[in-house]
Structure formats: structure tokens, C-alpha cells
Amino acid sequence: MTAASAPAGRTARHGRSARLVHTAAALRDLASGAGGPRGVVMTMGALHEGHATLIRAARARAGARGQVVVTVFVNPLQFGVGEDLDRYPRTLDADVALAAEAGADVVFAPSADEVYPGGEPQIRIAAGPMGTLLEGASRPGHFDGVLTVVAKLLHLTVPDIAFFGEKDAQQLAVITRMAADLNFPVEIVGVPTVREDDGLARSSRNRYLSRAERGTALALSAALFAARDRLAAEEALRVRAASAGHLVQDRSAALAALGEDRAAADARAVACAAAGPPHGPAVARAAARAVLRDAAELDPPLEVDYLALVDPTDFTEVPDAYEGEAVLAVAARVGTTRLIDNIHLVFGPPAPGAAGSGPECAATSPVHPVTTPQGPLGAPR
């Protein structure tokens, strides 16, 4: 069956079809798949491969007997004054086709009047302290709007499982907390970020970027990858240090006496890794900041809103002695387009017998530059 011959209200593509409904009553009339769970993927439309990945994850969990519902609703409550509500792309026909191809059974595309009958709701869900940090500080009230519409859509779609992208890490965290705190009978699932071939996180707002702006925007992912690679380099040094013991300190001194400065520096880095505690959070931040600092000098420049290394449970900044999982999050503007990205990092415990490091151990492992189409970023100065 082709799209042209599909029944009214249904779009078909490559053998798959999805029913398009606009009202809660029509959605209720569609029985959930017998014997399988209902999964929901909430979107604001302008679907891309990142959304398709969420839909495929929902299809996999729902199974052949379950049902996958994709919501398309541009929520006015989560846009602040001067933000791009009117500019946000609306591409419903293409969205339905992509959703169907990725495995959706139903696309629920309500109007604002359907979701908020009588106008903006007088009672909303407050995001609490987590909602005032990072994105919440930059966009006051944003997460209150997000949680209010997510709660509404959970009631309207009645899913067993709801899927959200990890690219919006803080959003995923506040939704997960809301579902737990308010006893929503739904499982919240995070799906890893989908990236373009050049590393840029997929976003509906990427279409706003000019070619030059896109080159600058690559600094967001470059900064995160620099932090990840710098942390991996430190961990590798610590592994070498654990096997080398105190002999490496003598080797460093001997090499320096022979004028072998580069080899001595390498040995000294291993010695410092053996002698001192891990510097993971500090070096991760430094590596990312170096890339962002250089991107601020590009044309067009990157205007950084925040770079934060946070505890994923409450999005508060972690200390330099932190151990465990953390989220390195960045937000920045290129031209008129604001973008966000993040990466998960894990920081290990101190090496056995670590006793602290002296000033000679500072910056023994340089931050290596990351190259974008506009040149290297993050080179040491």
C-alpha cells in the first residue's frame, strides 16, 4: 500500500502505516495493541534521525503486539519571551511519514486548544530546585512548562513506557524525577544521543545554521570529546603508574639528566599519576573550556551560555574529588540559534596509596587541539 492509497487519516510508507489523530477522543478510540505495552515518544515535530531512533527503541520494547504513539505538539508553555516559538518548524506531513517508517502506529498531533482547553493552565507542575539550574537558569519557567505538558500527554496517551533523548539530559532528569515523585505508572527510558557524521548532536534547530555557523557549532561536541579523551588519557596514565611503581620517578630524573626532555616528561606524568589523586573533573573541565575559549574567537563566534560538570541525579556541580558518573553539559549560541549538548563521564577512585601531587605535577599532560573545519581548537597557550 502506498501513501496515496492509504485510508483517510493513515499514512503509509515502505510497507508501514501510522494513523494520524488530532483529538484525545480519537486517540482513546484506538485500542492499544493486544498483549503488548504501549510506548510513547513525545516530540515537537520537525522529526529527524534522532527522533527515529527513539521511535525504533519504542517499537523494540513494545514488540509486534504492542503500540507505539508519537506525539507532535509545539508546547507554548516551554518557550520564553523572545524565544523561537513562532519560528519553530512545523512539518507534520513529513513527520508522520518518518514516524511510520520508524515503526509508529499512531501520530497524535493535537492543537493547543485540545491540550489546553480554555487557555493556559492555571495550575502547573513546578520543576523544583533542579528546574532552576543550567537550562532552568537560562530559560526561567522552561521546565515547569515541560513537566506540565509531559504530565498532560502522559494522561492523554496512557503509556506503559515513555522514551526521551539523552541529548536533553536535564529534561530527562526532571521528567524521571516527576514520574517517581508523583507516582506516574510509567517507565521512563533514556535513549542515547544521535549525532551527525561530523559529531554535531542532531537537533531540529540545526536547520537554522548557515554553513559557517555549523562549523562553529561543532565546537560543542568537540569540547565534550576533548574532555572525554583527556579523562581517558589520565586514566591510561594511572594504569601505567599502577604497574610502574616508584621506579618511574627515578627514570624521570635520569632521563632529564641525559637531556631526554620529552621522555622525561612522559615518565614524570606517569610518576605524578602514581603519586597523586585523580584530577578527572578538573582536567575534563579544562579540556572542554580550552576548546570553547578558542571557538569564541571564530567567525561567527560561539557565545557560551554555560559549561557544567554535574551530578546526574540533581544537576548540581561536582567537586574535583568527585567519583562516579557525571554529565558534562554545554549550551551556546551561534548567531541566533541556541544549541545544547552533553556527554556522560565516569570518574574513578584514587589510586591505592595516593598521597597528593606537588606543583611539578601540574599540567603534565597537555590538552591536545581538536580540529574543526575552521582550524584547531583547544590548543594549549
Whether residue 83 has pLDDT greater than 70: no
Provide the mean pLDDT of the chain.
84
Whether residue 72 has pLDDT greater than 50: yes
What is residue 188's three-state secondary structure? strand
Could you tell me which of 149, 54, 161 has the C-alpha nearest to residue 104?
Answer: 54
State mean pLDDT over 208-231. Answer: 97
Whether residue 256 has pLDDT greater than 90: no
pLDDT, residue 348, reads 83
pLDDT, residue 286, reads 96
H or E, element range at 152: helix 142-157
pLDDT, residue 236, reads 81
Which phi and psi (to 5°) does residue 327 adopt?
-115, 125
pLDDT, residue 315, reads 97
Whether residue 266 has pLDDT greater than 70: no
In whole angstroms, what is the distance from residue 5 CA to residue 66 CA?
25
Catalytic residue among 14, 22, 48, 51: 51
State yes or no: is 368 an active-site residue: no
State what percent of residues in the chain have pLDDT above 70: 75
In whole angstroms, what is the distance from residue 222 CA to residue 343 CA?
11
Per-residue pLDDT reduced to its tens digit, 180-202: 999 999 999 999 999 999 999 99
Q: Can you say whether the dihedral through the CA atoms of 166, 171, 74, 125 is positive or negative?
A: positive
Whether residue 23 has pLDDT greater than 60: yes
In whole angstroms, what is the distance from residue 144 CA to residue 372 CA?
36
pLDDT, residue 80, reads 72
Per-residue pLDDT reduced to its tens digit, 344-356: 999 987 555 444 4
pLDDT, residue 271, reads 55
Per-residue pLDDT reduced to its tens digit, 5-17: 333 455 544 456 8
Residue of higher predicted confidence among 294 and 249 = 294
pLDDT, residue 330, reads 98
